[in-house]
């Protein structure tokens, strides 16, 4: 019997898409940054949304685009988590308390956890799948616009270039993804493929 055997569907490469080298602890920023992990416009939700919506795209091109972007977003989750780890590395209890992270420490120690930054767990209520390609792609375009806006808000909150550079890179990726979704949306709309 032919089996996939040891070949896994997803391979993991120990290399971030864009390097994260944050040298200065910043616990308050870490708390806000978490929303791009597990908040309404965060990378976890983006990855799950796109990987979930693939199944009802009308052709291979659509399926491939969603697989490609969804898989890339899984790597962005890692970037955000790496940033969080570096921003909190070596923090003392006193520093955690001063930054308003006491509750976070009680629940998760020095661990990460996907919330909106206010301690609200991520939920798939944050995304939709209607099975209608135009509707789903319009949600995807909106998701990218909203993620861009949140990255801009986060960039307003700091002037540390070690933080700003990866955030700007991530922001640019959202714009690229928006463009790719828009092209497919326009193509489907024209072809009336649906």
Q: Which of residues 49-78 bind a second copy (CB under 8 A)?
A: 51-53, 55-56, 67-68, 71-72, 74-75, 77-78
Among 46, 65, 91, 150, binds a second copy (CB under 8 A): 150
We find the least distance from the C-beta atom of residue 127 to a second copy, in angstroms, to be 9
d(CA 181, CA 40): 19
d(CA 80, CA 107): 20
CB 47 within 8 Å of CB 74:
yes
Q: Is 164 in the site for a second copy (CB under 8 A)?
A: no
Site size with a second copy, rule: CB under 8 A: 94
CB 80 within 8 Å of CB 35:
no
Site track 14-53 with a second copy (rule: CB under 8 A), x = hit: -xxxxx--------xx-xxx-x--xxxx--x---x--xxx
Site track 173-192 with a second copy (rule: CB under 8 A), x = hit: --------------------
Continuous segment of H or E residues that includes residue 194: none
Q: Is 3 in the site for a second copy (CB under 8 A)?
A: yes
Handedness of CA 152, 170, 113, 96 (dihedral sign): negative
């Amino acid at each position: 019997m032919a089996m996939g055997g040891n070949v896994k569907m997803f391979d993991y490469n120990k290399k971030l898409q864009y390097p994260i080298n944050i040298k200065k602890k910043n616990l308050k920023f870490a708390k806000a940054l978490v929303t791009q992990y597990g908040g309404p416009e965060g990378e976890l939700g983006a990855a799950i949304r796109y990987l979930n919506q693939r199944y009802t795209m009308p052709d291979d091109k659509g399926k491939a685009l969603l697989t490609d972007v969804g898989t890339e977003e899984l790597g962005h989750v890692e970037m955000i988590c790496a940033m969080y780890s570096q921003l909190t590395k070596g923090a003392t209890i006193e520093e955690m308390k001063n930054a308003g992270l006491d509750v976070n420490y009680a629940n998760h120690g020095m661990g990460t956890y996907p919330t909106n930054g206010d301690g609200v767990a991520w939920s798939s209520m944050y995304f939709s799948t209607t099975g209608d390609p135009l509707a789903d792609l319009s949600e995807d375009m909106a998701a990218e616009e909203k993620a861009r806006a949140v990255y801009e808000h986060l960039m307003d909150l700091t002037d540390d270039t070690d933080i700003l550079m990866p955030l700007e890179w991530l922001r640019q990726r959202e714009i690229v993804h928006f463009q790719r979704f828009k092209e497919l949306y326009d193509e489907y709309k024209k072809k009336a493929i649906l």
